[in-house]
Amino acid sequence: MVFLVLLAGVINAAEHVQDFNWRALVKADTSAPYYRVTLPVEAYLNTAQPGFADLRVFNAAGEPVPFARTAPSGSSERSMQRTTLRWFPLREAVASNAAAGKLDVTVRQSGDGTLVEVHSAAGKPENKSQAVRGYLLDASKLVRHESAQALELDWQGGNDGFQLLDIEASDNLQDWRSVQRNVQLARLDFNGERIERRRIELAGLPGRYLKLQWRDPAIAPELVRAEIEQGSAHWKAPPLAWSAQIAPLRSALNLQPGEFHYRLEQALPISRIRIVLPQGNVLLPLQILQPIRERRDWHGIAHGVVYRINSNNREWIQDEIALSGPWLKEFIVRFDPRSSRNISQPTMQIGIAPEQVVFLAEGAAPYELAVGNGKMASGALPLATLVPGLGAPNAPHIAEAVLASGAASVMPASSPASALQPQADWKKIALWGVLIAGVLAMAAMAWQLVRQMDRKE
């Protein structure tokens, strides 16, 4: 009896890759203990259970390997930009050191605020025989002042060593405010080697103009470059997985002109819909509607405008409508009747933010991802359980992999005709056979025991 029960358990627990309707080989360029793949739209369309309870990963021997499902994750991308600023020397007579810190300038600006000329306080043009007291930097043409992260200077002449300067800012060249004081720059050369400090950290650009004033004009160098470094960060959403083109149905619904009915094989969490636009100039305001109350009514879930416009050898195109990720199996696209008329039976693509699968490279490659078995319970592990030390610097490496495309690697789901034909479930038949045999054996034992008791009486 014990043997029969164990045999039944083994038969019931066995998983074979051939039991799944859709399969795809995993392709990886590197060797790693873990791999990550993104699920394509075809996997969503062929899964037999909600939530991918039937998803499995098999190795070359046909054995299931441990895996975890994860939500798609975006990334933060940073970009840096350097802009060279125009500068104007500010000079004063060497004898006027006693008036240090009280330098006045007279400037002439263009209409957009750009500096075009700087004069001394006495109203005379700059005297190059005078000592350089500082520099006026023109940052009036910069945009996104809040993204300024640093000011970097380069110079020639002057004495090697340390220099101190003060920085002031203004938006109108009249009202100045202190930004940083006692800023230290340095350049040390010795034996063919150099150590220098040319970078001044900023928390945004404090004004359209910057005034740099050296504490000791006798050692103020000759400026040869002034650059503002700007940095920006933006969130990059995970890429979408797109379906093949979908044509509207010949629907029995009472559709109005400009309305088209679409139905998918499975409900999908749609993030975007891409309309395939005809060539030429076209503009189409539209609305997306989904059925409610058992299709007795339709509720609008998104609207927008798609268009293709050609102007001056340039094409302006917007062919996508964003959705909030609802699970949709069917929907109606309603085009505004006042828009372009040259659209008939429009095809479209749906985009989803696909889940990812991380699996352990247990056993030999190639590995195969499979879905499409309605009798499987969920086999996914939590990601933190699958990958020890996840998130730590020394955590095991997870390599990126892709699913092979093409008919040779993707096994199509069973056809509707074959799906309707009854198929023998040998696991279930074997299990019932074992159970019936066990019951009959127990009945035989009980009958034999009763006969023995009757003989003794």
According to the model, what pLDDT value does residue 96 have? Answer: 46
pLDDT above 60 (res 455) = yes
- What distances in angstroms separate CA 453 from CA 27, 192, 417, one per listed residue? 70, 112, 59
Count of CB atoms situated within 10 Å of the CB of 316: 10
Tokens linked to 349: 């693509």
For the entire predicted model, the pTM comes to: 0.58
Q: What is the mean pLDDT of the chain?
A: 82
**Collapsed DSSP state (helix, strand, coil) of residue 418:** helix
pLDDT above 60 (res 233) = yes
Residues 190-207: tens digit of each pLDDT: 898 999 999 999 999 899
- Are 318 and 306 in contact by the 8 Å Cβ rule? The answer is yes
According to the model, what pLDDT value does residue 117 have? Answer: 59
- Are 349 and 338 in contact by the 8 Å Cβ rule? The answer is no
**Range with top average pLDDT, 103-107, 219-223, 330-334, 372-376:** 330-334
* Per-residue confidence band for 294, with pLDDT thresholds at 50, 70 and 90: low
Q: Give the residue carrying structure tokens 């996840």.
A: 390
Count of CB atoms situated within 10 Å of the CB of 359: 27
According to the model, what pLDDT value does residue 235 have? Answer: 79
Residues 296-312: tens digit of each pLDDT: 678 899 999 999 999 98
**Class of residue 383 by CB neighbours under 10 A (exposed 0-12, middle 13-18, buried 19+):** middle
- Are 59 and 364 in contact by the 8 Å Cβ rule? The answer is yes
Strands 209-214 and 131-138: what pairing? antiparallel
Query: How many residues does this entry show for the chain?
Result: 457
Residues 264-277: tens digit of each pLDDT: 888 888 999 999 99
Which residues are registered as beta bridge partners of 373? none
Q: Which of 3.30.420, 2.60.120, 1.10.10, 1.20.1740 is the CATH number of 80-235?
A: 2.60.120
Domain with CATH 2.60.120 in the chain: 80-235, 241-352
Q: Which residues contact 438 (CB under 8 A, 6 or more apart)?
A: 1, 4, 5
Long-range CB pairs of 387-392 (<8 Å, 24+ gap) are: 387/34, 387/68, 387/358
**Class of residue 163 by CB neighbours under 10 A (exposed 0-12, middle 13-18, buried 19+):** buried
Residues 164-174: tens digit of each pLDDT: 999 999 999 99
What is the residue-wise DSSP string for 174-226?
SS-EEEEEEEEEEEEEETTEEEEE-EEE-SS---SEEEEEES-GGG--EEEEE
Tokens linked to 338: 């006042």
What is the residue-wise DSSP string for 324-391?
---EEEEEEEEE-TTS-----S--EEEEE---EEEEE--SSSPPEEEE--TTPPP-PPPHHHHSTTTT
- Are 421 and 415 in contact by the 8 Å Cβ rule? The answer is no
Average pLDDT estimate for 398-402: 93
Structural class in CATH, domain 241-352: mainly beta
- Are 40 and 241 in contact by the 8 Å Cβ rule? The answer is yes
According to the model, what pLDDT value does residue 128 have? Answer: 47
Q: Give the residue carrying structure tokens 């038949």.
A: 429
